[in-house]
Structure 1
Amino acid sequence: MYRYKCKILAIVVLFSIVATGVQGQKSDIFPLVNGNQVIDIVVDKKDAKVVQIAADLLASDIFKVSGKRVGVTPNLDKAGIIAGTIGESRLVDQLVSEMKIDVSKVKSHWETYSIEIVKNPVKGIEKALVVIGSDRRATAFGLLEISRMIGVSPWEWWADVTPNKKSELNISMENRIYGSPSVKFRGIFLNDEDWGLQRWAALNYEPETGDIGPKTYAKVFELLLRLRANTIWPAMHSCTKPFYSYPENKQVADDYAIVVGTSHCEPMLCNINAEWDSKTMGEWRYDKNAETIKKMFETRTKESSDFESIYTMGMRGEHDSPMIVGEDDTEAQVQLLEDVVTDQREILQKKTGKAAHHLPQIFIPYKEVLNYYQNDMELPEDITLVWTDDNYGYIRQLSNAEEQKCSGGAGVYYHTSYWGRPHDYLWLNSTNPVLMWEEMQKAYEFQSRDLWILNCGDIKPHEYNIELFLDMAWNMRSFSQSQGVRNHMEKWAAREFGKYNANPVTNLMYEYYRLAFQRRPEFMDWGRVEPVTKAGETELNQIHYNDEVSLRINAYQKLMDATQKLKPKIADNRKDAFYELVYYPVMGAAHLNHKWLYAYKNKFAAQQGRSSASYFGQKATDAYHQIQEETDYFNNILQNGKWNHIMSMSPRHLPVFSKPTTTICVRGNKPQLGLALESYEMEVNTEIINSYADVLPVFNAYTQSKYFVDVFLKGKGELTWKASAKADWIHISKDEGSLNNENQEQRVWVSIDWDKVPVGVNKKEAPLGHDYQLIPPSYKVNSAIVFAAGDTTISIGVSVFNPKLKALENYKGKVEDKGFVSIYAENYSAKIAGKQATWKTYDGVGYTGKVVSALPYSADSQTNIQSIKNNSPALEYDFYTFNFGKATVHLQAIPTHAFNHESGVRCAVSIDDADPVVVDFQTFGRSEEWMQNVLKNASVKSVSQIVNKAGKHTLKIWMVDPGVMIDQILIDLGGWKKSYAFPPESNC
């Protein structure tokens, strides 16, 4: 194994999302189908099987588009396309020897191919489209590049992207060289297949095998070729027979030129879950049963030695568990693991006849193995280090400067699907694509360029992220900025759904991923797994900050409405593809959120005695049934049952997927008016005059606040209500209504007409020495709203903070509201560059859809106050407070990990002229803090600061370590009421 280096030139090819190449002569038109003219695809019989397979696929694709059949033949009589591998194709070698084509930039390069129009390639042929590959895969990629050019999606079969029909096929192209790829080995891991892929294959697609067998793998390998991938880690759960138990599997992989590797818990291509029988083979413990284990390694090595393989070195315990040697004896574990690797390399050399360093080998420091590696485990330098994420999208560690010098290089094993603690996400693809880009871009910069594997579960519904991952691995140069992801998605959407739908689809999917980033659908019950817990209490706040539960309900409703509006605009031949790639994931996520969100509202309403509790309970139940209906359609009706059993709405049957339990409110027979105000947990007590709960929060002229009053029915029957403001500057969204069994509550929004409200007068100075005052007694104007129904009258106080301060005229910063200042990190007032680094904004990730990150990753960490002040880049945020005293600055960051032992995940904070205080976001192992972070996709750290006076101030955030990503900031003077997300930004 050797470390792979190459230079890439990025070019976009017609109908391709990502391609690499070197431009040649100017563009030309080449006819593939023109009237009754029929061409042949010519390949040498002696060329690799994958070349023949790719040629057949291209011929089939041309027929699907044009209705004209194209022959695949070794004969040159009607040659239109000539394809071959250097040194394997007599036809290609002849063109080279006759100097009709120059292959100097293709030959001997990894997976590099050229496509060019050659005039008079052979006698009697005026011109031909010639595809030449440096190796067998390259030739196949070149043939399937032509499929992309004629408009055939790589997902034509796997997502039913039916090609558009064309009577003539003329492709406009320039002679190009494509490759070499950014990453040498690129592929997917089929995992957690129990509820989808395995059942679909066994019961639907491949019943003759009753399993994921050679027929299913052939379709998977076809997809990989179309996506320019070359590696598979096969399915390995106990529900699936091991890959090598079907002799045809390894032959099919070789036919498609797919390299077979295995996961971190499958050493030497051995599937321990299903192939190790402890009853007949003894314990899976190398310290006690090494000889039996080595025999297994020897058998598999001999069986695989004639095929392209990547051997996973080391070992773990059974069933994805730690290897056991004594109790907590790290030193013994390290020594044993070193012995395992030494023995494995001897086996490789003995059974293949090749020196171990000439064979692809990987070592995956996953979970506890990372701890062993970090405790001075010695590893041969020609073994590829494959770093892993923490199962939730955040890479644990990357190669340091010394590791980057090793000939084995490095790679990444990354998840978009996961089974395990703290909670699974096996149903939908909820991994933010910009986050995945940021982590893989970081890995690429740290020289992890030899192997990228994506754990994509059942393939469906991970289609987009699979393509993005593999396109990045093919040509990372096209993704130098976060905007590259959006550009990629727009091109993907244009290809699949038409250029006029590209932007709407992209906007829709970006919002889908933003909401999922705030909390994945599968985490909405606040439960845990292993051991499985019942649903917990939601952290979403229903009484503060405009009601987080309702805001999320409305956001998902808006997303569903946009999806429904877009659906009729999709061409008929792409409607099924739209359903699979967009509609089902969006609707599934929305309905699962609605199920839990309405269940939370049901419980809250019942506690307040609202008759509407039953309405919310029904909405939760309806959402559950909608998931059932959509999943039934996916499995049984879509494509006439082609995908039956592929989609499960309840993987592992966890509580989050269950039918909601709702609360019934005991209702009296007499209808009564109820009111509930924003910021109060209890409803207004109509029995007590001037109770503490009958005043809305203070309206702030500088933040243009608005608050809600819920008007609801208690009991049964019907009543009408009216509301009247005692001042003309109070605006009410609704001033009357009817409540009955069908319409049991209404939300009234109260806002202020700031052009009419009187200016507040400073009647009382704030007392000196007081730490803070949440609402200054000065500058306030008071009035009320009266709600009436029958003989019930309730007065709700309205208090307005409306000074006219010269200091805030034309002010552009943030302003305190109710004792805090909330800031979105991307909205800085100024940015100060450091000596090595600067802050950059990433679009498409974070709670607000943007984060700021200190880059480049290669910048030195600044660890003392003077170096921070003198060398670090800084962000400045201007803010104004009406109070002063102690303040807590809460910083919310994306919960990434340190690159390696030499770095951290730190920034520093200061207000005004104070010295920077370091904030550290790093977590260790699988701690409770880490679990909370990955469930929330947020790490929140806090520091104390002093706001020494009312007035203008500046918050500074300094880089300590490069790569830290700041999402939101909250400066709390004592007024923040705990909420899941920080309150909306305190805009002036």
Structure 2
Amino acid sequence: MKPLLPALAGVLTLVTPVLSWAQSSECAAPASVCFTGQGGAMELILSGMPAAVLVDGDADPAVRRVAADLARDLERVSGQDAVLATGKAGVEGPVVIVGVAGHAGMIDDLARAGLIDLSAIEGEWEAFSITVVDNPWPDVPAALVIAGSDRRGAVFGTYDLAEDIGVSPWHYFADVPVVQRDDVSITAGTRDDRPVVKYRGLFINDEDPALGSWAREKFGGVNADMYEHVFELLLRLKGNYIWPAMWGKSLYGDDPRSGQMADDMGIVVGMSHHEPLMRAHVEWERHGEGAWNYSTNPEGLQEFWREGMERAKDFDKVVTIGMRGDGDEAMSEDTAIDLLEQVVADQREIIADVTGEPASETPQVWALYKEVQDYYDQGMSVPDDVTLLFADDNWGQNRRLPTKDLDRTGGFGVYYHFDYVGAPRSYKWTNTNQIEKTWQQMDLAWRRGVEDVWIVNVGDIKPMEFPLDFFLTHAWDPEEMTPDAVASFPAEWAAETFGPAHAEAIGALVTRYSRYAARRKPELIDAGTWPIGTIQGNSLTRGELGMYLDQWQALVADMEAVKEVLDEDQLSAWYQLVEYPILSMANIYELYHAVAWNRALAAADDPRANYFADQAEAAFARDAALAEAYHLLEDGKWNHMMAQANIGFEDWRGPDQDMMPEVIRVAGDTPASVRFSGTVERADMLIDATDFDRAVPGGDLEWSAIANLGQFGSGAMIATPQGQPATTVEDGMRLEYDIDLESAGDIVVGVRLSPTLDTIGEEGVRLGISLDDGPVEVLNLDLIPHCCGPERQEQVDWDAAVRDNGFTLTAEFDDLSAGAHTIKLWRLDDNIVIEHLRIETK
């Protein structure tokens, strides 16, 4: 039996993950990197001298390039040049051989001699095998063979090794330093790996004024010179698929080198959800003739699309089909399904004509974005080989997942968002994404059969480094990304980025930041967002906003303590990945806390208003100073990258530049300081969802606590495995919470849920609630995004749900006796995420 807890208690509770890298002994796994000098079968670096890198001279350009990158990476780690050769002649000492099985003479010779076994990767998609071979040739005591089942398999295996020896995928895009080592060895044996999701990628979007201005200054435009770094990052993260920047830009049209470079490096290029047949939207403005209307201008559009396919016909690609309105707008209200089916049929005829093969031989996606999903729901038919690309609601909640045609050859994908321009507010400035939320939604998608395309809108790439790293790691092997692995990920990421010494502390900082930042996106915060407290004569009491500010200030202090123990060469990456996000978001809370108190005190003609006016103006100036410090890093390498406006939003578009909130000054002397005498007490109470007394499973389902999911307490509760059909009360799956009421009366129980959506096309997601042995009441979370279902929009406020990143459903229980009672929450529908219970006496 437990008493009820004060509201917001436990918001600072952290679940310390058990780190897999700390559990396992170093150098234990086959063909793994060892820094201790013990148990190594092959010396990759010995006394500062790196092994040579060998690649066949006629290898695919992507393979030759990654071999050259490995030689550079070995140089970064060893401090000495690594030999890069296109044959074994004259090479002595240990070597690394990179190639594609069946297309690499040196590797194929070793396979024929029985020195390596490649059967585990034969015929697979992007698989790789890494094997240590003793004495493969005279004067070569050992070889490390990296064999790919195809060209990208060889690329991923090579970059996998590079990451293991200490070269971060973020060595360029976040200036993560490389630790130099005199000795690196590889253990004996073989290991192999391959991806689960076929196409895994990112979408650069909303890229002005930040990335666009940066690219124009540093590279002369969003061109091949810029994309070279982006493509390398994507491949090092084991991604293979990109939707290129499209705000007034064309990857193929702006720089003819970009398309060729993408293909040479092994990148699969697609176009966004509203850019059919490899044509960027801006190209219609530049070259299109007539209206973007298939009813009136089919010939003009067909010619435009044919030119796009002709230009990209020799490149590795996934072709977007279908059609939206001009400029990513909805099609007209009278758009008929049969017209869109004709669009798709004609587009596929163009694809077949240009490629000389059946259209089914060219990978295609049809993006079910916004109103396009309605066409799918209404029965629009597309060919079986086309991948159906579902979308979230632009705020991290999947709108729909597969319920039919589950065996279609084209399969399914999801288009997800870490960045967005649209209602209720655009959010472009900083990372406000929790990896735990991303995991919950993408694990759900995978378990529902989505394993052909995972692509995420990352805006400018920076500052989405952490969630992007997680997203692509998850996509590589969703089954391995268990709840425990999610909990361990921040510290493991920190260990790879900043070293193991402070990894747990850094991982905890990043996790706390993500939870606090996800409470509300900064573009949605102003002086009136949360209660600020009360004025009682000379006494001020802190409210909810003040408590949140305290959390941010405590996080800043903890961050600065870790910074003190870092090495000098880590501080640039630290500022980009940890310090700037924490300082800048804490400053937003300080700004609006000061503005709110300034206005409240000015209304009372209290001179303390002037103190808060000064604080607000200082915070506004500090926001610009923090961005300027970012832009000065690495001799100005990242100038413009933090140029997105983030203060002064009044509508979904936002201002072109930061706008200082209005403050009011009153007559009287400004005090040197202002003190708060306490915190406003709340009448209601909270129970953390993970603080249950009993978790009763049902069938093959069980309850799982997902650490750090949500904004309060230690995490949230979900039913696992996800993706399962509805259950009933008779199945008995429930959570039980024992409470003790001090007095008799009525209570209202609010169940705070993450704002998940109905992904199966019903009418919401349901949760049962009961008290003691009473009847079960069904609570329905029926959130309808702006994009669809206007007739149901007024039932539940989707705007409020995404603004608050949560929604509370309530149930009332009357005439209760004092003493012990039990609240029961019943699993009915999938995709319910329970964060906490709030109990209020009536």
1:932 aligns with 2:800: yes
> Which secondary structure state, in structure 2, belongs to the residue aligned with residue 613 of structure 1?
helix
Deviation at 1:380, TM superposition (A): 1.3
Deviation at 1:910, TM superposition (A): 1.5
CA distance 1:473–1:541, change in 2 (3 Å): same
CA distance 1:361–1:258, change in 2 (3 Å): same
Match of 1:905 in 2: 765
Match of 1:508 in 2: 509
Deviation at 1:858, TM superposition (A): 4.2
Task: Give the counterpart of 1:219 among 229, 234, 237.
Answer: 229
Deviation at 1:566, TM superposition (A): 1.6
Deviation at 1:318, TM superposition (A): 1.2
Match of 2:204 in 1: 190
Task: Give the counterpart of 2:427 among 425, 428, 451.
Answer: 425
> Which secondary structure state, in structure 1, belongs to the residue aligned with residue 459 of structure 2?
coil
Q: Is contact 2:768-2:776 (8 Å) kept?
A: yes
Match of 2:581 in 1: 585
**How big is each residue's C-alpha offset from its partner over 1:150-182, in whole Å with a ceiling of 9 and x where there is no partner?**
21111111111111122x232233433332201
Deviation at 1:509, TM superposition (A): 1.2
Match of 2:810 in 1: 942
> Which secondary structure state, in structure 2, belongs to the residue aligned with residue 276 of structure 1?
helix
Q: Is contact 2:200-2:240 (8 Å) kept?
A: yes
Task: Give the counterpart of 1:954 among 810, 822, 835.
Answer: 822
Q: Which amino acid aligns with 1:838?
A: E
Match of 2:733 in 1: 873
**How big is each residue's C-alpha offset from its partner over 1:175-221, in whole Å with a ceiling of 9 and x where there is no partner?**
33332201111111111111111111111x212xxx11011111111
CA distance 1:473–1:860, change in 2 (3 Å): closer
Q: Is contact 1:497-1:571 (8 Å) kept?
A: no
Q: What does 1:392-541 correspond to in 2, within 5 Å? A: 392-400=395-403, 402-481=404-483, 483-525=484-526, 537-541=528-532
> Which secondary structure state, in structure 2, belongs to the residue aligned with residue 181 of structure 1?
coil
Q: What is the TM-score with the length of structure 2 in the denominator? A: 0.90
CA distance 1:656–1:446, change in 2 (3 Å): farther
Match of 2:13 in 1: none
In the aligned structure 2, how far is the partner of 1:604 from the partner of 1:403? 58
**Is there any run of 5+ residues in structure 2 with no aligned partner, and where?**
1-18, 536-540, 647-652, 787-792
CA distance 1:821–1:552, change in 2 (3 Å): closer
Match of 2:387 in 1: 384
Task: Give the counterpart of 2:692 among 828, 831, 843.
Answer: 828
In the aligned structure 1, how far is the partner of 2:23 from the partner of 2:417? 28
Match of 1:92 in 2: 107
Q: Which amino acid aligns with 1:223?
A: L
Q: Which amino acid aligns with 1:835?
A: G
1:639 aligns with 2:648: no
> Which secondary structure state, in structure 2, belongs to the residue aligned with residue 435 of structure 1?
helix
Q: Is contact 2:251-2:258 (8 Å) kept?
A: no
Task: Give the counterpart of 1:291 among 281, 299, 302.
Answer: 299
In the aligned structure 2, how far is the partner of 1:656 from the partner of 1:548? 29
Larger Rg: 1
Q: Which amino acid aligns with 1:215?
A: D
Q: Is contact 2:127-2:192 (8 Å) kept?
A: yes
> Which secondary structure state, in structure 2, belongs to the residue aligned with residue 472 of structure 1?
helix
Q: Which amino acid aligns with 1:98?
A: A
1:601 aligns with 2:597: yes
Match of 2:54 in 1: 42
Q: What does 1:542-553 correspond to in 2, within 5 Å? A: 542-543=533-534, 547-553=543-549
> Which secondary structure state, in structure 1, belongs to the residue aligned with residue 433 of structure 2?
coil
Q: Is contact 1:15-1:151 (8 Å) kept?
A: no
Deviation at 1:246, TM superposition (A): 2.0
Q: Is contact 1:905-1:921 (8 Å) kept?
A: yes
1:319 aligns with 2:327: yes
In the aligned structure 2, how far is the partner of 1:436 from the partner of 1:518? 15
> Which secondary structure state, in structure 2, belongs to the residue aligned with residue 403 of structure 1?
coil
> Which secondary structure state, in structure 1, belongs to the residue aligned with residue 533 of structure 2?
coil
Match of 1:861 in 2: 726
Q: Is contact 1:234-1:243 (8 Å) kept?
A: no
Q: What is the TM-score with the length of structure 1 in the denominator? A: 0.77
1:963 aligns with 2:831: yes
Q: Is contact 2:20-2:488 (8 Å) kept?
A: no
Q: What does 1:211-250 correspond to in 2, within 5 Å? A: 211-238=221-248, 240-250=249-259
Q: Which amino acid aligns with 1:658?
A: M
Task: Give the counterpart of 1:346 among 343, 349, 366.
Answer: 349
1:623 aligns with 2:623: no
Q: What does 1:121-136 correspond to in 2, within 5 Å? A: 121-136=136-151
**How big is each residue's C-alpha offset from its partner over 1:625-651, in whole Å with a ceiling of 9 and x where there is no partner?**
11111111111x210111112221516
In the aligned structure 2, how far is the partner of 1:370 from the partner of 1:646? 34
Match of 1:58 in 2: 70
1:309 aligns with 2:317: yes
In the aligned structure 2, how far is the partner of 1:263 from the partner of 1:750? 49
> Which secondary structure state, in structure 2, belongs to the residue aligned with residue 405 of structure 1?
coil
In the aligned structure 2, how far is the partner of 1:549 from the partner of 1:341? 52
In the aligned structure 2, how far is the partner of 1:344 from the partner of 1:15? 54
Match of 1:845 in 2: 709
Over the aligned positions, Cα root-mean-square deviation in angstroms equals 2.6
> Which secondary structure state, in structure 2, belongs to the residue aligned with residue 456 of structure 1?
strand
Identity over the aligned pairs, expressed in percent? 31
Q: Which amino acid aligns with 2:568?
A: D
CA distance 1:46–1:565, change in 2 (3 Å): same
**RCO comparison, higher one (Cα < 8 Å, 6+):** 2
In the aligned structure 2, how far is the partner of 1:279 from the partner of 1:103? 49
Deviation at 1:749, TM superposition (A): 4.1
Q: Is contact 2:425-2:654 (8 Å) kept?
A: no
Q: What does 1:723-734 correspond to in 2, within 5 Å? A: none
Q: Is contact 2:390-2:412 (8 Å) kept?
A: yes
In the aligned structure 2, how far is the partner of 1:597 from the partner of 1:546? 10
Deviation at 1:290, TM superposition (A): 1.0
In the aligned structure 1, how far is the partner of 2:23 from the partner of 2:206? 33
> Which secondary structure state, in structure 1, belongs to the residue aligned with residue 410 of structure 2?
coil
In the aligned structure 1, how far is the partner of 2:743 from the partner of 2:254? 72
Q: Is contact 1:886-1:947 (8 Å) kept?
A: yes
CA distance 1:499–1:225, change in 2 (3 Å): same
In the aligned structure 1, how far is the partner of 2:519 from the partner of 2:679? 28
Deviation at 1:818, TM superposition (A): 7.5
In the aligned structure 1, how far is the partner of 2:764 from the partner of 2:190? 43
Match of 2:195 in 1: 181
Q: Is contact 1:58-1:143 (8 Å) kept?
A: yes
CA distance 1:963–1:947, change in 2 (3 Å): farther
Q: Which amino acid aligns with 2:759?
A: F
Aligned length: 794
In the aligned structure 1, how far is the partner of 2:684 from the partner of 2:468? 42
> Which secondary structure state, in structure 1, belongs to the residue aligned with residue 564 of structure 2?
helix
1:67 aligns with 2:79: yes
Deviation at 1:881, TM superposition (A): 2.7
Deviation at 1:936, TM superposition (A): 0.6
Q: Which amino acid aligns with 2:559?
A: T
In the aligned structure 2, how far is the partner of 1:111 from the partner of 1:363? 24
Q: Is contact 1:856-1:963 (8 Å) kept?
A: no
**How big is each residue's C-alpha offset from its partner over 1:862-904, in whole Å with a ceiling of 9 and x where there is no partner?**
4xxxx41x21311122223344444332221000112312584
**How big is each residue's C-alpha offset from its partner over 1:539-597, in whole Å with a ceiling of 9 and x where there is no partner?**
43524995112111111111111122221211111111101111111111111221112
Deviation at 1:462, TM superposition (A): 0.7
> Which secondary structure state, in structure 2, belongs to the residue aligned with residue 159 of structure 1?
coil
Q: Which amino acid aligns with 1:855?
A: T
> Which secondary structure state, in structure 2, belongs to the residue aligned with residue 288 of structure 1?
coil
Match of 2:121 in 1: 106
Deviation at 1:384, TM superposition (A): 0.8
CA distance 1:546–1:913, change in 2 (3 Å): farther
Deviation at 1:837, TM superposition (A): 2.6
In the aligned structure 1, how far is the partner of 2:30 from the partner of 2:449? 23
Q: Which amino acid aligns with 2:297?
A: N
Match of 2:168 in 1: 153
1:366 aligns with 2:369: yes
Q: Is contact 1:602-1:613 (8 Å) kept?
A: yes
Match of 1:813 in 2: none
**Is there any run of 5+ residues in structure 1 with no aligned partner, and where?**
1-10, 526-535, 668-715, 717-739, 752-816, 975-988
In the aligned structure 1, how far is the partner of 2:658 from the partner of 2:803? 17
> Which secondary structure state, in structure 1, belongs to the residue aligned with residue 401 of structure 2?
coil
Deviation at 1:281, TM superposition (A): 0.8
Match of 1:682 in 2: none
1:555 aligns with 2:563: no
CA distance 1:659–1:855, change in 2 (3 Å): same
